[in-house]
């Protein structure tokens, strides 16, 4: 028996060496590849209640601008995403009355060119710039206030709370808002017009037809003067003739 054990011992050692070689020879797991680019549409689609906002991001091409800038800028970005219910609660025709350029400004107004956490928004300096800031030489800023840990956002025309975050990691933060952020510059009493008319005259406007029908021209006035002068000369000649 001792002889058998001594004979098997080298075989067992060889087997152990072979197995250890096989284990170490296994290829290492591949290293994870680079992270996929941040995509605002994919984030909103995952949220499941932003169909209208996604549509406007696509038609105005603001979505593409966000994807390009957020993946190339060191500042990051912040998006305030209105829900479908927020758009449904607008007055009928609010969006349809807007020109294409105004729709672009409206969507840009929901985007800030800087990454903000909720804690940042609790103490940020107002007004906060948006991607619409500077258009029409207007501010187009957002104002943030806090009530405890709750953050509210105001446009000067509407105010609502900033709800949960769809994404809060750099370089893009996406927060849900329950109202469409209508800028005061577009919907307020003193809304900005990109082609504002000049000051009106104090006198009422007179149309061409009114002028032709009612207001005498310089030519008609001079004609009346000539007729009156001719009549006076005729009377003078008549008196001279009678005297003679």
- What are phi and psi for residue 154, nearest 5 degrees? -125, 140
Q: Which residue has the higher pLDDT, 14 or 183?
A: 183
Most confident of 107-121, 196-210, 212-226: 107-121
Where would I find the H helices in 25-83? 40-47, 51-59, 62-70
The pLDDT, as a whole number, for residue 78 is: 98
The pLDDT, as a whole number, for residue 199 is: 39
The pLDDT, as a whole number, for residue 234 is: 53
Q: Domains plus CATH for the chain?
A: 38-181 (2.30.180.10)
Q: How would you classify the pairing of strands 77-82 and 172-177?
A: parallel
- What are phi and psi for residue 71, nearest 5 degrees? -95, 0
Spatial distance between the Cα atoms of 175 and 155, rounded to a whole number of angstroms: 16
The pLDDT, as a whole number, for residue 28 is: 63
The pLDDT, as a whole number, for residue 36 is: 77
The pLDDT, as a whole number, for residue 243 is: 47
Mention every residue, 6+ apart, whose C-beta is less than 8 A from residue 69.
77, 113
**For 38-73, how does the pLDDT look when each residue is reduced to its tens digit (9 = 90+)?**
999 999 999 999 999 999 999 999 999 999 999 998
* Percent of the chain topping pLDDT 90: 57
Distances (CA, A) of 61 to 19, 56, 78, 107, 110: 60, 8, 17, 10, 14
Spatial distance between the Cα atoms of 92 and 90, rounded to a whole number of angstroms: 6
CA angle, 20 then 26 then 27, to 5°: 150
Spatial distance between the Cα atoms of 83 and 216, rounded to a whole number of angstroms: 62
The pLDDT, as a whole number, for residue 85 is: 97
Token digits of residue 130: 């948006």
Cβ atoms of 157 and 184 within 8 Å: the answer is yes
């Amino acid at each position: 028996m001792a002889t058998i054990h001594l004979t098997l011992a080298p075989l067992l050692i060889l087997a152990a060496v072979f197995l250890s070689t096989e284990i170490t020879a296994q290829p290492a797991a591949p290293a994870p590849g680079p992270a996929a680019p941040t995509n605002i549409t994919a984030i909103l689609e995952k949220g499941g209640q932003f169909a209208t906002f996604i549509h406007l991001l696509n038609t105005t091409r603001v979505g593409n601008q966000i994807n390009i800038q957020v993946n190339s800028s060191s500042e990051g970005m912040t998006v305030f995403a209105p829900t479908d219910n927020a758009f449904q609660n607008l007055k009928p025709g609010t969006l349809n009355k807007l020109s294409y350029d105004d729709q672009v400004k409206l969507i840009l107004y929901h985007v800030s060119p800087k990454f903000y956490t909720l804690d940042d928004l609790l103490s940020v300096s107002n007004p906060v710039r948006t991607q619409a800031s500077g258009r029409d030489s207007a501010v187009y800023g957002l104002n943030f206030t806090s009530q405890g840990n709750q953050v509210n956002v105001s446009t000067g025309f509407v105010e609502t709370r900033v709800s949960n975050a769809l994404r809060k990691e750099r370089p893009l933060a996406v927060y849900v808002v329950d109202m469409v952020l209508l800028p005061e510059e577009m919907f307020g009493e003193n809304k900005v017009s990109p082609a504002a008319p000049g000051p009106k005259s104090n006198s009422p406007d007179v149309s061409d037809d009114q002028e032709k029908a009612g207001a005498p021209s310089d030519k008609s006035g001079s004609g009346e003067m000539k007729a009156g002068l001719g009549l006076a000369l005729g009377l003078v000649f008549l008196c001279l003739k009678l005297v003679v």
